[in-house]
Structure 1
Amino acid sequence: MTIDPSSIPNFGGQPEPQPEGPAGPVVPDQDLVKQLLDQMELKYVVDEEGDLAAPWEEFRTYFMFRGDQPEQMVYSVRTFYDRPHPIEDKAQLLESIDDWNRRTLWPKVYTHTHDDGTVRLIGEAQMLIGAGVNIEFFVSSTVSWVRAAIEFDKWLVEQLGLEQDVNDADEPGEGDA
């Protein structure tokens, strides 16, 4: 099974190859996602649990296949945002992500409170794939979900004024000469 590269948005500004993809529905697998990530020129790793992950500076996006029965197989793209937020900011975070979830289709974002009291965000989109899916639909959904995960991080930085925090962290403070 191969991906029709003409169905992949051009991330790098380079011309896209034009081979033909499979006809009819396919049941996507990790190798297909690896091929797609290669064509998108995104780096990825396979973690110790066997899940495929694409790391960015402030988050990691996982491409997972779950399901006990073939017809119940689910493809999940889950993004773990690494920026820790203090528990005192959880109400503001919930208000912001509720706004995001109302305005957008994906990723749906939720909070996770760690034992140390920090709050982190997780975004997720899913597709039932057990009966097979159209390859173009699979590719365009995956690409859209990756783009949306990136856009959410940018949006949250703007919403919460985190760009100032990022800029402050980059600038040397008094006595840091």
Structure 2
Amino acid sequence: MSIDPSSIPSFGLPQPPQGGQPGGAPAGPPPVIVPDQNLVAQLLDQMQLKHVVDEEGDLTAPWENFRVYYMFRGDHKELFAVRAFYDRAFPLEKKGEILDLIDEWNRETLWPKVYTHTHEDGVVRLIGESQMIVGNGVSLEYFVGTTANWTQAAVGFEQWMVERLGLQEQVEDDKDATDGEDGPADEA
């Protein structure tokens, strides 16, 4: 999934004229916005990703083996996080092996940073997370590009894990059992 920055709508913000100021001078700094859930929903629509609002009020884009949440946290919604919850369960005995793998991912990539969560029943699941502070504002272009990149990276981690753990056959069997469509799951 890649996004052409010129295809992303302006979301109602004035756009600088092409080529900057007369004489070729730059048009100045980009406008600063304080992003909100509506902006993220518009971005997900532009990216053609199915999404819903969950019980806690967070935007969620479901894929077949994981879900990506777009959340604003803090007293003034100043923290924006993109968090992926991966459905694949690992037994507690494999946690050391899984930690070695996600350490490799975390060393070699910028995002999402991935960690384990061990449930009370001993099942280990993975969570990927990226965050930025947006309370004082951020450039629209930066926010859109970063959010799109974080989403793409969450998808990329799932693909990386499938390859690294040799789970391709399992994924293909799962695909044969469903409608075989790529992208976000239709169950949303």
- Normalising by structure 1, what TM-score? 0.82
1:83 aligned counterpart, secondary structure: coil
1:46 counterpart = 2:46: no
C-alpha deviation, 1:169, in angstroms: 5.9
**1:5 aligned partner:** none
Q: Which amino acid aligns with 1:60?
A: R
Q: State the identity as a percent.
A: 57
C-alpha deviation, 1:66, in angstroms: 0.5
1:151 counterpart = 2:151: no
1:79 aligned counterpart, secondary structure: strand
Q: Which amino acid aligns with 1:9?
A: I
**2:141 aligned partner:** 136
C-alpha deviation, 1:164, in angstroms: 2.9
**1:61 aligned partner:** 68
Which of 3, 6, 20 is equivalent to 1:9? 3
Which of 21, 43, 50 is equivalent to 1:36? 43
Deviates more, 1:146-155 or 1:162-171: 162-171
Aligned in 2, Cα 1:122/1:136: closer, same or farther, shift over 3 Å?
same
Q: Which runs of 5+ in 1 are unaligned?
A: 1-7, 173-177
**2:130 aligned partner:** 125
Q: Which runs of 5+ in 2 are unaligned?
A: 15-29, 178-188
Aligned in 2, Cα 1:18/1:147: closer, same or farther, shift over 3 Å?
closer
- Normalising by structure 2, what TM-score? 0.78
1:89-127, CA deviations, whole angstroms, 9 ceiling, x for partnerless residues? 111110000000000000000000111111100000001
Aligned in 2, Cα 1:25/1:158: closer, same or farther, shift over 3 Å?
same
**2:23 aligned partner:** none
Which of 13, 24, 33 is equivalent to 1:26? 33
Aligned in 2, Cα 1:91/1:40: closer, same or farther, shift over 3 Å?
same
Q: Which amino acid aligns with 1:103?
A: E
Q: Which amino acid aligns with 2:71?
A: M
Q: What's the C-alpha RMSD, in Å, of the aligned pairs?
A: 2.4
**2:186 aligned partner:** none
C-alpha deviation, 1:17, in angstroms: 6.8
1:30, 1:170 → 2: CA distance? 32
**1:81 aligned partner:** 86
Residue 8 of structure 2 contacts residue 46 of structure 2 at CA under 8 Å; is this kept in 1? no
C-alpha deviation, 1:166, in angstroms: 3.1
Residue 86 of structure 2 contacts residue 126 of structure 2 at CA under 8 Å; is this kept in 1? yes
Count of residues in Structure 1 that have an aligned counterpart in Structure 2: 160
**1:4 aligned partner:** none
Q: Which amino acid aligns with 1:90?
A: K
C-alpha deviation, 1:18, in angstroms: 5.9
Q: Which amino acid aligns with 1:155?
A: W
**1:165 aligned partner:** 170
